[in-house]
Amino acid sequence: MIDILEKESIDLVLMDIEMPEMDGIQTTRYLTENFEKVGVLALTMYDDESHIIKMLQVGAMGYILKSTNKKELTEAIKTVASGESYFAKEASEVIMRRFMKKKTLSKSLAYKVALTRREKEVLKLIAEEFTNNEIAKKLYISARTVDTHRRNLLQKTGVKNTAGLVKYAIQNDIIDQ
């Protein structure tokens, strides 16, 4: 697969976690570090917290189960290919349960930067899975302004993608509980 990515322009990789040689978590880490423009959508049978969190930590932009229907799979592919995150209901519930147990999050891993009130609003809506257009409508600003806030958030927090922003929001208590 990696040879193909070096030769072809690929926007999205559907990643299984259980694979021979290098598992999906290691492969996702490699892809996000070496092919920044490639979005990774985990397509797996694992619905446990450990696998979901590990895939988020290594940069997966989406997580969906193999038991999903065609409609949801198509939506997930389109969403991640457009640069947004997509998490199946089961994965979102696991993430939110973990978030609700905020004492289990290591504060030593959280890094704080000064965010404006508007950046926090945008970040919260990103973490709640709103698209740029939806955020723009909700905050009465243009989609272009939302995109600017998103780029500023990526730069300020030092994360690489939307999954990193969600992780940052969780670790820094930006999402209301």
Residue 37 belongs to a domain with what CATH number? 3.40.50.2300
Tokens 């905050």 found at:
139
What is the number of domains present in the chain?
2
- Residue 15 domain-assigned? yes
Q: Are residues 65 and 111 in the same domain?
A: no
What domain range is 153 assigned to?
107-171
Q: Are residues 54 and 95 in the same domain?
A: yes
- Residue 177 domain-assigned? no
Q: What is the pLDDT of residues 35-55, one digit of tens each?
A: 878 889 999 998 888 888 889
Q: What is the pLDDT of residues 11-28, one digit of tens each?
A: 899 999 988 878 889 988
The DSSP line for 52-79 is HHHHHHTT-SEEEETT--HHHHHHHHHH
Around Cβ 166, how many Cβ atoms within 10 Å? 24
How far apart (Å, rounded) are the C-alpha atoms in residues 104 and 96? 13
- Residue 45 domain-assigned? yes
Q: Are residues 160 and 126 in the same domain?
A: yes
Q: Are residues 29 and 60 in the same domain?
A: yes
Residue 121: pLDDT band (50, 70, 90) is very high
